[in-house]
Amino acid sequence: MKSTLRSLPALMLGLSLGIPLALAQAPARTDAQDGRDIVVQVRKDGATIIVDVEMVVQASPLATWDVLTDYDHMAQFVANVHSSRITNRNGNTLVVAQKSSTSFGLLNFSFDNVREVELVPHSEIRSKLISGDMKASAFTTRLVSDGGGVTRVINHGEFVPTMWVPPVIGTAFLAAETRRQFIELRNEIARRIVALRAAVPAVQ
């Protein structure tokens, strides 16, 4: 049982935006947006874990993009990420390194991962694992304007963990933690919009 528990936190590394976010049993957030409208599907195909996420954001594609690609400040608004920085930039291709830690019950884990991120401003983010705790990982996030200041975030990815994942409990746990991470991202988008509006003087 211990080996199964040990494998679960590592699986989330490289999920979401292809950023190595870690799992944690943190208290439930009390933000207004609780994430029940975020569609998350996690399933297994042999050794491969397939993740699909769809989320609606009350923000423009540009405002959404600014948060999803803010790798140098990711640790400030995503739980359990201790450091996150762009180590190399060549045009729209980045190398992103992150360190994170997490706990599962009484077990504690630390992770160090590096990913290559290809940006297609302001519509698509493609990410693949260079080095880390999985055999392979590749994710694509698309931003689609629904008009009226609403953006749809569509995420699809596949990864191959180094350890076995329970087909029911494991995938359900991954789905819940993936939703938690997208809630954090959406909350940060909303926070920045509010801050920007407060900073702009009202028109007389």
Q: For residue range 4-42, list pLDDT tens digits in order.
A: 444 444 344 344 455 444 333 333 343 445 789 999 999
Q: What is the pLDDT of residue 100?
A: 76
Q: Show me where the domains of the chain are located.
A: 2-23+40-199
Average pLDDT (141-165) is 92
Give the list of residues 6+ apart from residue 9 with CB closer than 8 angstroms, or none.
Answer: 22, 23, 102, 103, 104, 107, 109, 111
Comparing 149 with 5, the larger pLDDT belongs to: 149
Q: For all residues of the chain together, what is the average pLDDT?
A: 81
Characterize the bridge pairing of strands 124-131 and 134-147. antiparallel
CA angle 73, 188, 25 (to 5 degrees): 85
CATH classification (class only), 2-23+40-199: alpha beta
pLDDT band at 102 (very low <50, low <70, confident <90, very high): low
Q: Residue 158 is encoded by which pair of tokens?
A: 């596949």
